[in-house]
A and B are shown apart, each in its own frame.
Chain A
Amino acid sequence: MSTSYFVPLSVTLVIAGILLPFWPLGALGVLLAALSGHPAVALICAAVLDLLWGVMPGFSQYYFFPAVLFALLGIVVRALSLRYVLEERSSHL
């Protein structure tokens, strides 16, 4: 199944998150790109959002790139899920 149409959808969500007064749309775009198997798109969008949004004050400032970390989390979740699904399928065959 092709997931290429998730790329424009993710980018649109990220742009909407910047331009519309609702930042979670941007985070949703990053998550969608990461979970649909487009890690490069997710990481680039996350880096742009991190530059625009900055970091939280206090101890959380040492995350430096929170949106990139969020994208990496999405990528890892997808990789682990795929691994689990493949293992389940191979055990059934």
Chain B
Amino acid sequence: MTTISRSKWRKRPPYRSIVVVLLFGVVLLSLGVWRGTFAGILWRVTEPVLHSRAFASSVIGSVTAQFYAKSALTRENEALKAALASSSLALLDRNLLAEENKELRERLGKAGATPHTTLASVIARPPASPYDTFIIDAGSDVGIAVGDLVFAGGASVIGSVSESYASTARVALFSSPGMVHTGLLRRQGGEAGDIPLTVSGQGGGTMRAEVPAGTKVSIADAVILTVNSLTLSGVVSHVERTEGNSFEVVYLHLPVNLFELRYVEVRRGEPL
């Protein structure tokens, strides 16, 4: 049997490996320098395919929906009617508050400061895209720039544009690991005084913040983003109190289900 001795390994000149490593370094450096251009080209190719996938899944979903049991549909219908009734009341309250807010802003001379909004459809959302980011089908062609805030369902802000290509853009959610934003904790039940806090993303639509021990925080309290207008950026889902610790850990989730997001609004000129 023939075996390769260690001395023979050492004698082999490593020129080929050095050339390959250098070449790879040059390619990687070029990709780093022109990352936006290369990524834009790739997304231009991928975007129609992902649009087709979304269309196909909606068609398949509508076909399979016909096979649901009638009784299950009736139960779902009843539950949706109940949810709609409670939502209508909440919406009435919201409309009144919105009117009041508008009136106050007009009195303060801040009316008309609403930034330009672009509606975009989500073409890749978690778990199709990693790091709690998603891709929208609007980019620098329509004026979307890095840092623009992204809203879902009106007053819920969920993240900001992290990269903008020609026809697409990448949105980093506030729940993305490494994403940090400041906000105000607004408590339910008329508790006076908002609490400023720093919220950091944890992935999977969840976030984490710390408040001083003894602070009255309860589940479903809201976190308001500190920008010109009042915008909801998180909802308290759990509070962890440890005996003897000077801080309480507040766990939050995004105000919307990011796995079901179909459309978002990008507000230009209102960066974080």
Contacts and interface: CB of A to CB of B under 8 A. Distances in A.
A26 B241 CA distance: 40
Interface stretch (B177-185, B204-212, B218-226, B247-255): B177-185
Contact of B129 (A23, A50, A58, A59): A23
A19 B50 contact: yes
> Interface size class for chain A?
20 to 34
B193 interface: no
Contacts of A61: 178
A25 to B, nearest CB: 10
B145 to A, nearest CB: 16
B169 to A, nearest CB: 11
A58 B3 contact: no
> Interface size class for chain B?
20 to 34
B127 A54 contact: no
A93 B4 CA distance: 12
Contact of A59 (B39, B131, B178): B178
Contacts of A90: 3
A56 interface: yes
A60 B42 CA distance: 23
Q: Interface of chain A, helix or strand or loop or mixed? A: helix
B163 A20 contact: no
A48 B177 contact: no
B230 interface: no
Interface in A47-93: 47-48, 50-61, 64-65, 68, 90, 93
A18 B50 CA distance: 9
B127 A58 contact: no
B31 A51 contact: yes
B178 A60 contact: yes
B128 A57 contact: no
- Enumerate the 4 nearest inter-chain pairs by beta-carbon distance, A residue then B residue, closest first: A58-B178, A21-B128, A56-B131, A51-B39
Given A21-B53, A52-B43, A54-B131, 16 more contacts: A20-B128, A21-B124, A23-B130, A47-B27, A48-B42, A51-B38, A51-B39, A52-B42, A54-B39, A54-B170, A55-B131, A56-B178, A57-B172, A58-B176, A65-B28, A68-B28
Interface of A: 18-24, 43, 47-48, 50-61, 64-65, 68, 90, 93
24 contacts: A18-B46, A21-B53, A21-B125, A23-B127, A23-B129, A47-B31, A51-B31, A51-B35, A51-B38, A51-B39, A51-B42, A52-B39, A53-B130, A57-B131, A57-B162, A57-B172, A57-B178, A58-B179, A58-B180, A60-B177, A64-B32, A65-B32, A68-B28, A93-B3
